Amino acid sequence: MKNAIVFGGAGFIGTHLLRSLAASGAYGRLVSVDMAPPADPVEGVDYRSHDIRKPIPDSIGGPDSTGGDFAEAYNLAAVHRTPGHEPHEYYETNVGGAIEVCDFARRTGIPAILFTSSIAVYGPGEDLKSETTPPTPTSDYGRSKLLAERVHREWQASDAARRLVVARPAVIFGKGENGNFTRLAGALRKGVFVYPGRKDTIKSCGYVGELVDTMAFTMGRDEPSILYNFCYPHAYTIEEICQSFERVAQLPKPRGLIPQGLMNGAALPFEVLDKVGLRNSINRERIAKLVLSTRVEPGYLNASGYRFGTDLDEAIRRWKADNVGDALV
């Protein structure tokens, strides 16, 4: 049996990944490294507290272990909410953390790493993005993720025996997400959601359980370096997403549509309040994210024969069955 270490294992995706690794029966030891305590601990996982912006000790897996015990490392740790952080925070954690993780793997002989990047490296836009599309990030988050990809690629390229998988997920949802889809479901349930600016904005997305399945699929392939986008093959619009919530979770329909100009005007007072210390998440940058499409295709997965086990309806059905919270029950 092999051992694995997951950086960022206490978070949303990390928890689902560790639960899947544990259920597979293929791992003797699973170690999670994270600054935060796990909100939903996975039985049998050894949770370790560490800030990956700082050098990672070889003995992070326990007092009698070394990094050489691990056959695989997963680097999920990141500062990701945007807007929400100062520019330097994205680089300190996302790039600095990548340097420390790769240095740890280099020192201790870990042969395989999976790194979760983001479709933010492409930047928003109506055009379809594939893995061959040149990255043009427009945010500090996207730029920091692209730099972190390069750090991992340098690690892999320096030794022919090393393997690297870089995943670029779109919007991910499921139990424990507490992000875009959870807020959308909550607003629909309360009957207060209105389409922001347009109904045909494309939001490429995917279920967290499906993402974890693609991680197992790509880590199991005999290729030294893999780059793949993760989202459903169908380019779901915000209207189709709302219709799926209505169909599967019996949530109310949106209440209508508000033009973007009106939304921007309404956001200005909240931006002023935020600047004087009354923190809130309402601003024009966040509104722009709602209106701009993120249209991505999972080209590598499609070409490699990966078979999706869910679509949007089935994913919401599974999420609802998990009893994730008031938004869906």
Residue 18 has pLDDT above 80, yes or no: yes
100 CB neighbour count, 10 Å cutoff: 21
Digit-coded pLDDT (tens) for 61-100? 765 555 568 999 999 998 766 656 687 898 999 999 999 9
Q: Write down the pLDDT at residue 84.
A: 61
pTM of the predicted model as reported, rounded to 2 decimal places: 0.91
Query: How far is residue 123's CA from residue 172's CA, in Å, rounded to a whole number?
Result: 17
**Residue 259 half-sphere exposure, CB side, CA atoms within 13 Å?**
3
Angle at which helices 238-249 and 312-321 cross, to 10°? 50
Digit-coded pLDDT (tens) for 25-56? 999 999 999 999 998 999 999 999 999 999 99
Query: How far is residue 229's CA from residue 200's CA, in Å, rounded to a whole number?
Result: 22
CB distance 30 to 56 below 8 Å = no
Closest CA to 30 of 41, 15, 44: 44
Residue 114 phi, psi (nearest 5)? -110, 125
Q: Write down the pLDDT at residue 326.
A: 45
**Residue 226 half-sphere exposure, CB side, CA atoms within 13 Å?**
27
Digit-coded pLDDT (tens) for 278-313? 776 666 666 666 678 999 999 999 999 999 999 999
Query: How far is residue 82's CA from residue 86's CA, in Å, rounded to a whole number?
Result: 9
**Residue 157, C-beta contacts closer than 8 angstroms, at least 6 positions apart:** none
The H or E element containing residue 125 is strand 125-129
Burial track 266-298 (b if 16+ CB lie within 10 A, e otherwise): ebeebeeebeeeeeeeeebebbebbbbbbbbbb
Q: Enter the tokens of residue 83.
A: 């807007």
To the nearest whole number, what is the mean pLDDT of the chain?
A: 90
End-to-end CA distance of the chain: 39
Assign 3-state DSSP to the chain and report helix, strand, coil percentages, each to 5.
40, 20, 40
| Domain ranges across the chain | 2-171+207-231+296-309
Q: Write down the pLDDT at residue 274.
A: 73
Task: Quote the distance between the C-alpha of residue 132 and its chain's center.
Answer: 20
Least confident of 67-71, 140-144, 188-192, 318-322: 67-71
CA distances from 210 to 20, 143, 172, 277, 315 (A): 11, 26, 9, 40, 9
User: In the CATH scheme, what is the homologous superfamily, with its name and number, of domain 2-171+207-231+296-309?
Assistant: NAD(P)-binding Rossmann-like Domain (3.40.50.720)
CB distance 150 to 143 below 8 Å = no
